[in-house]
Chains A and B, each alone.
Chain A
Amino acid sequence: MSMLSRPALLLPFMALLLVGCGSGDRDALDSGALEERRAQARAAMERHYATQPSLPPDLREAFERGDVTQDEIDAMAEAGELEPFFVFATPDDLPTDLVWEDGSDLPEFASPDAKKGGTWYTAVQDYPRTLRRVGPDANSSFRPFILDDVVMGFGQRHPEDISIVDGNFRYFPGIAEAWAEDKDNRTVYVRINPAARWSDGERITADDLMFMFYFFQSEWINEPWYNNFYSRNYVRAVRYDDLTFSVTVPEAKPNMLGRVLGLEPLPAHFFDDFGPDFIDRYQWRFVPTSGAYVVRDEDVRRGRTIALTRNPDWWAKDLPFWRYRFNYDRVHFSVVRDTAKRFESFRAGELDGFGLNLPDYYYDRLPDDDDLVARGLIGKYTFYNERPRPTYGFWINSSRPLLDNRDIREGIHYASNWERVLREYFRGDYTRMRTTADGYGEFTHPDLRAREFDVDKALEAFARAGFTERDNEGVLVNDRGQRLAFTLTTGYENLQDILTIMQREALQAGLLFRVEVLDGTAAWKKVQEKQHDIQFVAFNVGPEMFPRYWETYHSVNAYDRPFLPDGSPNPERRPKAQTNNLLLIANRELDALIERYRASESAEEMRELAFQMEEILHEDASFVPGFVMPFYRAAAWRWARWPDHFDVRISRDPLEYWLGWIEPGKREQVLAARRSRERFEPIIEVYDRHRPE
């Protein structure tokens, strides 16, 4: 699911200061005007269906490099040289030799003991600024609750069985009833479950899939990333009948199945007046969902609280793999900006659960001998998971003076004492990140290691760059009087302590980090505009099979026209804003590998390429790998129950797969016990089935 969603800036520690504004309720239009709008919207959609061409990958890459212009592409489409993207066929066109699968041999992972009911009280750091799932401000920490973790795809990756069969992860059915893969033609055929319904009762059909492509390719959603993703990574969508469609991808890459099954259709009937004012018009309108939870208008108290409500008529409530999940009747969110306050609120019983990932919360603020824990009123859970890891580390802007020198970057690696932070601040619970893509199983480089803190090696590297003398403060200077001092920016206020520790350590090697702590939004803006020296930030990553390289490391995302036609760096190139290439890395060799990797259809070859790219990135030394948290930890009141295995292998937090439930009647009993000083058996659980050796 989340493979299709935008790689989000990691939000857990961000506090967005601005709270929702703007009223986007459906304007009161008289029925005639509304009819006219609908007619216009329908016409625009049909025009798009009729004209949208499908660009072959090489043409698309030439376009991205700027070698081909939009006008030229339009002319080619006009001349009929390009295949159409949208095709409306008949059931007779469906190939007859397809082998349909439905993942029914997979085990279910939720617990049949689960009981429906109750309210789960939780808190968010900032109030969602919109209920749209795309467009400005949509990529917030609330989005998982209305999209990523709730909405059903056609199929979903099995979160326990992580084996790779026939080049694909294992999938269980969601909206789809069955699917068939045609590797030779790079096409996946899908049959929609006839019972599938939107939360407003309408049927889910193949038209909703076609509409989804139209919607994400449209400029009206103001989302260049979506525009690119949904035209670059898919080349054709074919509708055969109401419930059958196929999607073709440009390359038969490993996990091709996931690329199609992970798609989430959109309710075409709801967006029947989709137009240029989409952003405002749909600001506060909840999109009918295929999932279990809806947001009712009366539960949106802007700036204060919001709630999810379980749809009692959810079509998939008894469907295998989906039953026994989504058990809470309501999920209630209040806004508590301050982490410490959230914790106190949790201890007071106002919130049901609290994340204990930070060591001082796990060990000091809620120790095992804490009264509430020792009396068994609050349980502590540690769950080792197995998923791609967020890329916490130092992102060095290699377009900056001095930082464009590889020796200095290498010195920064050796002068960054992650080891001390891991040992003494994280208390040995976290591990060092090794590459830019940890946690991808066989796609993660097996034996590359991040450079460890070493004053001597750092000094050597800095000396090679001409920094040999120290000034009165112990900071290295070169013979031109430049100081070895860089700004180290972060938006993670909760993690600023590790930067101040590392600042002191780096001074041993004569390197000065000027620590700058901004609020999350400002920090992200800074790095998106490529104004940073060194940024401490992480990209969140979904449970994909293999890492992405193009977004983060390809030169087209570093500069506008990074190279001259002869292959030499363009002397007038300027950093390109609003891309994820935070390192400003522009390396022809790496580009070539990334392009091969993007085009490759063989897992074997991609693995090799990934390793080569990791080696180049290691050699380039622009990314200082930070830490990896091999588990998540949480605390919850005793009335919260989970299956015996607690959660699934690739889960990120307890609300991601919604396996928990509330023991009926237990809340009152536990709260009464808190006053009467009654004791229960303490709950301190460590689930280490998936703990790496």
Chain B
Amino acid sequence: MRLNPLTLRKLKRFREIRRGYFSFLILIGLLGLSAVSELIINDRALAVRYQGEWSFPTYGPVELGSVYGLEGTDGRRPVDYRRLKEHFDAAGTGDRVIMPLIPWGPYYNDAVGGILRAEAPNFERGHYLGTDTTGRDILARLVYGFRTAMLFALAFTALTYLIGVAIGCAMGYFGGLFDLLFQRVIEIWSNVPFLYMVIIIFSVIPATFSVGARIGILLAIMVLFSWTGLTYYMRTATYKEKSRDYAAAAQVLGAGTSRIIFRHILPNTVATMVTFVPFTVVGAITAITALDFLGFGLPPPTPSIGEMLKQGTANLTTAPWIVTSAFAALVVILLLVTFIGEAVREAFDPRQFTLYK
């Protein structure tokens, strides 16, 4: 792919802003790790050697105990790989279970000392950040909650940009009645209180919907109420570009509308729009966390940072590690994204590259 030399210069400039660039690398690294979090932090085994055969249950279907020769009730219910490991180790027949680095899933209720309650960080048992009020590992819930939030935020950003840019650009380019009409529509639409809409709509979604479908609906609602903000910027940028000489020149040369928009105007507005991306991501993460905090987000027991914040504030004095972990994680993510955002803005700042006549 050949990039515009201007863009290349912007990217180079971005790399030179070290704080933003490293934040970007760290965030990409975290995203990469969280994509394979099942291999790192999970209560399902990475690999099992049973009777000389290796199997890798991480991504496969739920296995019953009978697969590994467990008898009685244990043979008929899903395998608890930690207990299977103990069983194999005790039997000493050479069968082996290799657990992930942190052998806890986000749903596993671990009763330390026979009681389900918030346990402080316990390195011996592998709860590096402690457990929540029902004995679930906080690190595991953070990691899986982070993944959901990030995927959600990225999908949200992509969709809002798609709609916002398209409509904003059309408004700016066509102008006239279309512009006037859509401005009024947007003014009305953006006055609908979005959080209440989410709460109302979520209260009528039947519980039979799967978690995935619910996330999809949440995403759709949020996108539906968030694209409006972008149109203002896009509209102005398009207006500005449209009146430039090069746009007129293209028109005179006989270029069609779509060619002018996609080849000439859009690339020139990217600089403005791209600077908003990280802040849209921040906004999305904050919104989904807030919704979960209020109890209108993902259904229990789905792991989420908002739910952990809620639990943490309810147990502030007795289990400070819950709120500390969730809060720290949230701060780190938002900081990283904000640093990236600042760097992007600086790198794409047109004042450094453009000369006005």
Contact = CB atoms under 8 A, between A and B. Distances in A.
Interface of A: 338-340, 360, 363-365, 423-425, 427, 455-456, 459, 470-474, 485, 487, 489, 493, 496-497, 499-501, 503-504, 507-509, 514-518, 522
Interface of B: 60-62, 64, 73, 76-78, 107-109, 111, 114-118, 133-135, 203, 206-208, 295, 299-301, 313-319
Main secondary structure of the interface of B (DSSP, over half): loop
5 contacts: A427-B115, A472-B62, A473-B61, A474-B62, A522-B203
A522 B314 CA distance: 23
B55 to A, nearest CB: 15
Main secondary structure of the interface of A (DSSP, over half): helix
Nearest to B77: A508
Contacts of B300: 496, 499-500, 515, 517
B186 to A, nearest CB: 31
Nearest to A532: B207
Contact of A503 (B60, B77, B301): B301
Contacts of B73: 455-456
Nearest to A498: B134
Q: Which 10 pairs show the lowest CB-CB distances between chains A and B?
A: A474-B62, A472-B61, A516-B207, A500-B301, A487-B207, A508-B77, A424-B116, A340-B314, A424-B111, A364-B318
Contact of A474 (B78, B118, B206, B315): B78
Contacts of B116: 424-425, 497, 501
A504 B207 contact: no
Nearest to B63: A474
B318 A424 contact: no
Contact of A360 (B76, B117, B208, B313): B117
Contact of A504 (B107, B295, B316): B107
Contacts of B118: 364
B62 A470 contact: yes
B114 A423 contact: yes
Interface centre among B109, B133, B208, B295 (most CB of A within 10 A): B109
B203 A500 contact: no
Contacts of A456: 73, 76
Given A339-B314, A424-B109, 20 more contacts: A340-B316, A360-B133, A364-B117, A364-B118, A424-B116, A424-B135, A425-B116, A425-B134, A427-B115, A456-B76, A459-B76, A470-B62, A471-B61, A472-B62, A473-B61, A474-B78, A501-B116, A501-B134, A516-B207, A517-B300
B109 A455 contact: no
B295 A517 contact: yes
Contacts of B317: 365
A75 B319 CA distance: 70
A96 B73 CA distance: 73
A470 B114 contact: no
Contacts of A487: 206-208
B318 A365 contact: yes
A473 B62 contact: yes
B141 to A, nearest CB: 12
A455 B208 contact: no
Given A340-B314, A522-B203, A515 B133 contact: no
Contact of B109 (A340, A423, A485, A501): A501
Contacts of A470: 61-62, 64
Nearest to A505: B109
B134 A509 contact: no
Contacts of A514: 207-208, 299
Nearest to A425: B116
A515 B62 contact: no
Nearest to B133: A497
B77 A509 contact: yes
A613 B316 CA distance: 47
A424 B207 contact: no
A673 to B, nearest CB: 21
A470 B62 CA distance: 8
A497 B118 CA distance: 12
Nearest to A531: B206
A565 B303 CA distance: 53
Nearest to A522: B203
